[in-house]
Amino acid sequence: MKSHVKFFILLMTSILLYSCGGDDNKVNTNTNPTITTNGYNPNVNGFSTQAEQQLMNQLKSTLQCPQGQVLQNIIGTGQRVNDLVFSKPLQSADHTKVCGQFSQGTQVQGSTGQMYVGVSAYNDIMIVTELINGSQVIGHRVTISMCGQNIVSGGGWYGQQQTQIPYIDNQRQLTNFRTQNNSCIVLDKDNFCSYGVVDFASQTVLTAAPIQTNGLSLQQVDVYTSFAKPTCNQQY
C-alpha cells in the first residue's frame, strides 16, 4: 500500500514540475534551412507533408533530447517518441492565434503554407503549419516531437528497488491535443529565422493513455508542455 501511495505522490509531483517548464525558454537551433513549403499534400494517413518532415528532421538533428535526470523524479530517456499530428479548421479571422481542441491527424484539406517552429525547455519540438486554399488560410496542422521521459518510483524507502515508469513513451499513446482555457498558440514572423516562430504556447496539453507495467496499473494522465520561439543564427 505504501509503495502505491508513494507512486501516486511522485506522479502528481512530477506532473506539476513538468508543467512549469519552458514559458520563457530560448533554444538555439543554429539552423537556416531552405524549405519548399508549397506543392505537397497530406498523405492518406494524415501525417505531415514532405516539407514539414524535412524541417522536423533538421530541427531534431540540432535539438537533442536530454538523457538522465531532468527534474526531481523525472528521467530523460534521450530518445524521441513517434511524431504526433493534429489539426483544426480556422475559427477566427486572426490566423496568428490557434486555440482550443485539435483533431487527430489532418482533418482539414489544404495546401501547405507558412510553417512556424516552437521549442520547449526540454527540446520538445512543435511545427505549426498553415493550411491554405488559394491565398486564404483555412486551418492549421500541428506536428509535435516529444522527448521521452520516465518517472522514477521507489528506491531508498523501506528497501524498495528503484523503478522507472513510462511517462512520455511510445507505450503510452498521446492523444487529445489542446490549449487550455483562453490560452492560444501565438504565431509570428522572425527576421532571423527562415521559418515563422511560435512566440509562445503556454501549457499545451496531451493525454497519455493508461498502461500496465511493472505490476502497476497506470491511469491516463495529462502531459503539460510550454513552447516558445527558438533562437536562429545566434539572434533572438
Its pTM stands at 0.78
Cα(49)–Cα(225) distance, integer angstroms:
24
Instruction: State the alpha helices, DSSP H only, in the chain.
Output: 2-19, 50-62
**Of the segments 6-15, 77-86, 154-163, which one has the largest average pLDDT value?**
77-86
Cα(17)–Cα(71) distance, integer angstroms:
7
104's grid cell: 487527430
pLDDT at 182: 82
Q: List pLDDT tens digits, range 86-121.
A: 999 998 878 899 999 999 988 888 888 999 999 999
Q: List pLDDT tens digits, range 186-208.
A: 999 888 888 999 999 999 999 99
Phi and psi at residue 209, in whole multiples of 5°? Answer: -70, 155
Q: List pLDDT tens digits, range 124-138.
A: 999 999 999 998 999
236's grid cell: 533572438
3-state secondary structure of 205: strand
185's grid cell: 498558440
